[in-house]
Amino acid sequence: MSDLIRKTAVELSELMASGEASAVEITQAHLDRIGAVDGAVHAFLHVDTEGALAQAAAVDQKRAAGEKLGPLAGVPLALKDVLTQDGVPTTAGSKMLEGWKPPYDATVVQRLKAAGVVILGKTNMDEFAMGSSTENSAYGTTHNPWDLNRIPGGSGGGSSAALAAYEAPLAIGTDTGGSIRQPGAFTGTVGVKPTYGGTSRYGLIALASSLDTPGPCARTTLDAALLHEVIAGHDPMDSTSINQPVPAVVDAARRADVAGLRIGVVKELGGEGYQPGVEARFHEAVELLTKLGAEVVEVSCPHFEYALPAYYLILPSEASSNLAKFDAMRYGLRVGDDGENSAEKVMNLTREAGFGAEVKRRIMLGTHALSSGYYDAYYGQAQKVRTLIARDFTKAYEQVDVLVSPATPTTAFAIGDRVNDPIAMYKNDLCTIPSNLAGNAAASFPCGLADEDGLPVGFHVMAPVMRDDLLYQVGGALEAALAEQWGGVLMSKAPELEVSR
Ligand code: GLN
């Protein structure tokens, strides 16, 4: 197997600049890797072999012609199947969209293409991004490359698993309640949720519009920062896009300095229900940052304990409204259209057949929470709680620059373990959801392996709105210090995957 697949995006870029490898060679190496391991991992729903090779050849041509190229030109990437790519199948993990080929590129995709990033294909996810394990995908579960019997996290498990299986050095995810950070934590990779509005939602199949945030996934902090810079920035096509300069994330990842930085450990995100090995690695990382000169204090965010219930009212409410457009008329699936059935009947039959159990559960929850007579008690109340959580952050940031916690209460669990227990599944998102509700920037960085099971643990950093740079500063410092201990990034400790050809 080519050693090109082990390289970071930065290293690949250097190889291309020096003429030691072409974009086509690099792309082919990753396509070969996908061919060899994806049967076992199932990170991809669609591999665009021809399109990827054509994009790579175009980059090689531009380079040969002496054109100035960006730092990620020719670097392959795995794209979560919730973002539209012109002419390429996009399902959002749902039967509802089987066979649908969008007629346009999402803004994120437009920017990737403009930067010469090579899109290898579309990655698996929980249906419409509802889930924490990819087990809600209509197209089968993705397996965690660290242990194929475990889930890779969700909803963007395919993107993170593609990184951990060395099928791609870069990936795009979307984070509504942790779907970039939690799979990042479970696969020993870096996952960043930018500030809400810092990356465009145009062309992102909506789950909850006030929370949805596309973001970068990579095996190193600097790679994630480079990708962040490519995709972020104002977009007039998204009405909630922030019209401000992109925070200097690449500089911050390079600086990787925490001396004098004030770090707050969130008191409420730890203790009962948290796996001892997760807490141990988290506290060691905090110690390490202290040694590097950070000032660490404990901070209380008393309303965080209500984040999960508030989220599970707000998200289903918005989702039930966003998913109303899947009415058998406009996109994808249509069932029972026999010339006899009424439009309403066709709509009902299609939604019955096209949506999975979790999606139906949330549509029902959301419809109920929004119904007249209950609206104030459920949706209205949840919005008030959301404000209290945002205030907790504002108060905390008067004291400290960033907040930290474990990214998840446990490491990756076994496939099948929590499918019949939605509450246990939802509890995965205890640490990640507050930042979504407040629109903050947040990220997960690998911080070691839990003693109990040898599986990756994620270190969660939360920063104020449009201070995404602080995430990379902390992540970069942690990564550098841990690399000294480990002799490389955490991923270098992952077991070899069995290669099928
Ligand atoms: N686990 C969360 C949920 O099921 C993740 C959602 C997301 O970020 N897309 O809602």
Per-residue pLDDT tens digits for 134-190 = 999 999 999 999 999 999 999 999 999 999 999 999 999 999 999 999 999 999 999
Q: Is residue 498 part of a domain?
A: no
Kindly name the residue from 80, 94, 241, 317 that is annotated as catalytic.
Answer: 80
Q: Sign of the CA dihedral 140, 359, 82, 180?
A: negative
DSSP string spanning 326-367?
Answer: -SSSSSS-----SSSS-HHHHHHHHHHHHS-HHHHHHHHHHH
Q: Is residue 369 part of a domain?
A: no
Distance CA 62, CA 29 (A): 21
Higher pLDDT, 44 or 495: 44
Tokens at 449, concatenated: 């392996």
Q: Is residue 363 part of a domain?
A: no
Distance (Å) from CA 176 to ligand 1 centroid: 6
Short-list 85, 3, 4, CA closest to 45 = 85
- Give 271's DSSP letter: S
Pocket test for ligand 1, best of 155, 159, 193, 428 (most atoms within 8 A of CB): 155
pTM recorded for the entire structure: 0.98
Tokens at 238, concatenated: 């998204």
Number of domains observed in the structure of the chain: 1
Q: Is residue 55 part of a domain?
A: yes
- Tell me the mean pLDDT in the region 487-495: 87
Atom 10, ligand 1: residue with shortest CA distance: 130
Distance (Å) from CA 251 to ligand 1 centroid: 30
Q: Is residue 118 part of a domain?
A: yes
Query: Helix or strand or coil: residue 259?
Result: coil
pLDDT higher than 60, residue 501: no
Q: Catalytic residue at 80? A: yes
Q: Is residue 329 part of a domain?
A: no
Q: Is residue 18 part of a domain?
A: yes
Short-list 477, 467, 418, 363, CA closest to 182 = 418
CATH of the domain at 8: 3.90.1300.10
> Which residues, 6 or more positions from 290, have their beta carbon under 8 angstroms from its beta carbon?
296
- CA 137-172-279 angle, to 5 degrees, is 80
Kindly name the residue from 94, 137, 179, 241 that is annotated as catalytic.
Answer: 179
| CB of residue 207 inside a 6 A radius of ligand 1 | yes
Cis peptide before 133 (omega within 30 of 0): no
Domain that residue 437 falls in: 3-304+387-493
Q: What ranges in 175-275 are assigned the alpha helix state H? A: 181-187, 221-231, 249-255
Q: Is residue 12 part of a domain?
A: yes
Query: pLDDT digits over 198-215, tens only?
Result: 999 999 999 999 999 999
Query: pLDDT digits over 379-414, tens only?
Result: 999 999 999 999 999 999 999 999 999 999 999 999
